[in-house]
Amino acid sequence: MGGVSLANNKGVVYQGDGKVTVEDIGYPELVLRDGPGVPKENVGRKCEHGVILKVITTNICGSDQHMVRGRTTAPKGLVLGHEITGEVVETGRDVEFIKKGDMVSVPFNIACGRCTMCQQQKTHICLNVNPERPGSAYGYVDMGGWVGGQSEYVMVPYADFQLLKFPDKEQAMEKILDLTMLTDIFPTGFHGAYSAGVSMGSTVYVAGAGPVGLAAAHSAQLLGASTVIVGDLIEERLRQAESFGCETVNLQEHDRLGEQIEQILGVPEVDAAVDAVGFEASGHGESGEQPAAVLNAIMDVTQAGGGLGIPGLYVTEDPGAQDKNAQKGSLNVRFGQGWAKAHTFVTGQTPAMYYNRGLMKSILSGNAQIAKAVNAQVISLDEAPEGYADFDQGAPKKFVIDPHGSLK
C-alpha cells in the first residue's frame, strides 16, 4: 500500500472560539503520532492491529459541539469526529479477520479487547487506550489523543476486536443513513432508555430533543414503551419528536414539568427518565445555565424505584461555566431526593459495542427507523463548518458528512 500514503486527507479541525475549519491533516498511518492532545505515553504508539478506513459517512455530534463552544479543555488543532462508518483500504500486519474492502461501523469508544473491562464488555472504560484515565474516543478532549474521523481517511486501532462489519455492502449503502447512527448516537440513545429500565408498557420522559434525545425516544418505543414524552426549549425540535409519535412539553412555556406530565398521563410521574441534555442545561422558566436542572427535574418526575439513564455529557472541567463549582464538574444535585426515592442512576459513555450488532439487525430488517427519527441531513466535508453553526443554533437535524460524495 506504499503508494496510497501520498493521498491527501482533509479533516475538520477545532480552531478555538467556536470555530472549525477544513484543513489538510495528512494521510493516516498505523501509528499514533504526536499532535494536539496526545499524551506523552501515547506518542509513537504502533498500531499494526489497526486499519486505514476510507470514510463513507461521519456525523457531527452534540458532544463535539460542547468542545467547539469552548466548554472543555480541548486544544486547538484537534481533528474532530468520533462517529465513523467506512471502507477498509489498508490493514495492519496483525489484522487477521477484517479484510480490505469490508464496509464497517466504528464504535466511538476505542477499546483494546484485552483488558479486564473489555472482557466484561465495558468497552467505554477500556484501561489500555488512554494513559490519562479509563475510556477513549476519536478526536475528543482527554481521550488519549486518537485522531478524529471527520475526514476523508482515518486510522482505527484494534480492528479485529472493534469493527462491526456489515453483511452486504449494497444493502448497507441503501440503509447508510440509518447505519451511520450505529457508531454512537443510536447505541447512546438506546443505552439511555435501556439503562433507565424501559420495558413493555413503560411511561418515559426524555429531557432534550437533540439527536441523542430523539434516538432515546425512538429506542424507548422499540423497547415497548406505552408513552414517550420529550421535553425541550426549542419548538422545531419538539415537532421532530412528534413526527414519530412522541408527546412533547415545551419547557420555555411551562416551568412545572410534573403538571404537564399529569395532563398527558393522568399522573405527575413517569416510570423512567433519560437525561439527553448534559452539563450545558438551562433552568426551566429561569434564565441562565443551571447544569443540574435536568438531573433535578428528572428525579422530581420519576416514580420511586424508577431508573434514570444519563447519556447526556457531564465533564470534569468546564472552564466556561458561570459557577466556580461547575467549572470543576461539581453540580448542585438534590441527591437526597434521588436517594429517598430509591432511584437508579446510570451514567458515563455508552459501551457502543454492547448494542451495535443488535441495533444493526433492527435497521437491516426495517424495524428501526433511526435516520427518520433524528432527521438525518447529508452535507459535504467542506460544508462541515456551516453544519456546526446550524446545529449550534438548535437546528432539528443530525448532520451526516459525506467526504467522498459516496451517497450520491
List the grid coordinates of 358: 443488535
Q: How confident is the model at residue 329 (pLDDT cuts 50, 70, 90)?
A: confident
Instruction: Give the C-alpha separation, 172 to 84, whole Å.
Output: 14
Span 35-60, pLDDT tens digits: 999 999 999 999 999 999 999 999 99
Q: Is the CB of residue 46 less than 8 Å from the CB of residue 83?
A: no
Which residue is listed with cell 438534590?
334
Q: In angstroms, how far is CA 188 from the centroid of its own chain?
A: 6
Phi, psi dihedral angles at 336 (to 5 degrees): -60, -35
Query: What does pTM read for this prediction?
Result: 0.95
Domains, the chain, with CATH or none: 2-184+351-401 (3.90.180.10), 187-346 (3.40.50.720)
Secondary structure element (H or E) that encloses residue 154, with its range: strand 153-156
| Of 92, 121, 93, 101, the residue nearest 109 (C-alpha) | 121
Q: Is the CB of residue 53 less than 8 Å from the CB of residue 398?
A: no
Q: How confident is the model at residue 111 (pLDDT cuts 50, 70, 90)?
A: very high
Q: How confident is the model at residue 2 (pLDDT cuts 50, 70, 90)?
A: very low
Span 66-81, pLDDT tens digits: 899 988 999 999 999 9
Give residue 213's identity as a one-letter amino acid code: G
Instruction: Give the C-alpha separation, 184 to 80, whole Å.
Output: 14
Cβ neighbour number for residue 161 with a 10 Å cutoff: 17
Instruction: Give the C-alpha separation, 271 to 248, whole Å.
Output: 16
Question: How would you classify the pairing of strands 84-91 and 51-59?
Answer: antiparallel
Span 252-264, pLDDT tens digits: 998 899 999 999 9
Q: How would you classify residue 179: left for phi > 0, otherwise alpha for psi between -120 and 50, otherwise beta?
A: alpha
pLDDT over 70 percentage in the chain: 97
